[in-house]
Amino acid sequence: MQQTQRLTWLRTSDPRRLASLWWQADSVRREAVGDEVFLRGLVEVSNICRRRCAYCGISAEHKGLERYRMSTEEVLACAHTAVRLGYGTVVLQAGEDPGLTKTRVSDLIRQIKEQTDLAVTLSLGEREEDELAAWRAAGADRYLARFETSNRELFDRIHPPLNGQPADRIRLLRTLRVLGYEVGSGVMVGIPGQTYDDLARDIEWFAESELDMIGVGPFVPHPVTPAVKLPAAAPEQQVPNSVEMTCKVVALARLACPKTNIPSTTALGTLDRENGTELGLQRGANIVMPNLTPHGYRFLYEIYPGKANSQDSPADVREELARRIHGLGRTIGAGRGDSPHYRAGLAAAAVCGEAE
């Protein structure tokens, strides 16, 4: 698909035309990754963060926030809950916490791998190559690091440098690929100052970078952060942070990257509690990430307020998701649910190795 076509879709509001986009994305999704929806158990292991991102509720600038870091035993208990609920993956997410050291995280990964058959996904921010290599060696399977926007000026506006060093998530993604991780990234939709051209370039970058996972969520800033005062683009250029626009990007990402895993994100379900999860799944997504974080910590990991299902037990969330997924005529996937794109890359590498 050409950039002009993507721009046309992003600007389209005609429901009849959009119905065609939804149908195309859902058809490609069905053919490329099937009807299974894989559930990833999310564990928010720490809300300590050294970054000062302009929109995030756990930013280091949020001085009044009670901070926590889960113990190894608490995280392992969540991993066993994931197994009991039939999930194939546990996602360890945190702020960029220096206390989550190379050794500590490596030990945690090894224990999860020794005690369960779960795939381990990490989302721990921008880390040094030696840390990433150690965690991969310990058994980590995947790493998530959203680049948020391909507009560098806009990125720097919402992600201030750390110790004078600008963030470089594109370099991070390349490093993860070299280390053998299944690599995930993605963007926010509706950042103040984000234009339709920016978003079209983001989708083009998805295709060029050959991501294994793509996360797309609406921009939902925490009210205590500077993001609520960021300047918008001109009205005819500013991308809205709506459910519909987020679904357009999900659909276009699926068309650009057919065999990539794409979640229907929590933020999408937060903006539309009744139908957001289903809309994502009907418009290209094949992954959902239910929260396993203990309630005592869950309310302290408030990247943005009012997250969907924040008060429900893991078992209740699992039951509700099953009802919604089966209501779409889909099934819950068993096992790890590795990205078909990643599996194809491994197969190609194995063939090259045999040829040599």
Q: What is the pLDDT of residue 307?
A: 81
- Going along the chain from its start, the domains and CATH numbers come out as 3-355 (3.20.20.70)
**Per-residue pLDDT band at 163 (split at 50, 70, 90):** confident
Whole-prediction pTM? 0.95
- How far apart are the C-alpha atoms of 92 and 113, rounded to whole Å? 13
Taking only the tens place, the pLDDT of each residue in 249-266 is: 999 999 999 999 999 999
Give Dmax over CA atoms of the chain in angstroms.
59
Mean pLDDT computed over every residue of the chain: 94
In DSSP terms, which residues pair with 74 in a beta bridge?
A: none
From residue 268, alpha-carbon distances to 161, 207, 241, 244, 301 in Å are 28, 22, 10, 10, 17
* Mean pLDDT in residue range 306-335: 91
Tell me whether residue 268 is exposed, middle or buried, using C-beta atoms within 10 angstroms of its C-beta: 0 to 12, 13 to 18, 19 or more. Answer: buried
| Rounded-to-10 torsion of CA 292, 298, 303, 307 | 70
Pull the structure tokens for residue 25.
């994305």
β pairing state of 119-123 and 89-94: parallel
Check: CB of residue 44 under 8 Å from CB of residue 294: no
- How far apart are the C-alpha atoms of 277 and 321, rounded to whole Å? 9
First vs last Cα of the chain: how many Å apart?
A: 36
Q: What is the pLDDT of residue 356?
A: 56
Check: CB of residue 221 under 8 Å from CB of residue 261: no
Please give the residue that has the higher pLDDT: either 287 or 304: 287
Taking only the tens place, the pLDDT of each residue in 33-82 is: 999 999 999 999 999 999 999 999 999 999 989 999 999 999 999 999 99
Picking from 273, 300, 228, the residue whose alpha carbon sits closest to that of residue 49 is 300
Helix (H, G, I), strand (E, B) or coil at 69: strand
In one-letter notation, the amino acid at residue 65 is L
Q: What is the pLDDT of residue 87?
A: 97
In sequence order, which ranges of 86-211 are alpha helices (DSSP H)? 102-115, 129-138, 152-158, 169-179, 196-209
Taking only the tens place, the pLDDT of each residue in 122-156 is: 999 999 999 999 999 999 999 999 999 999 999 99
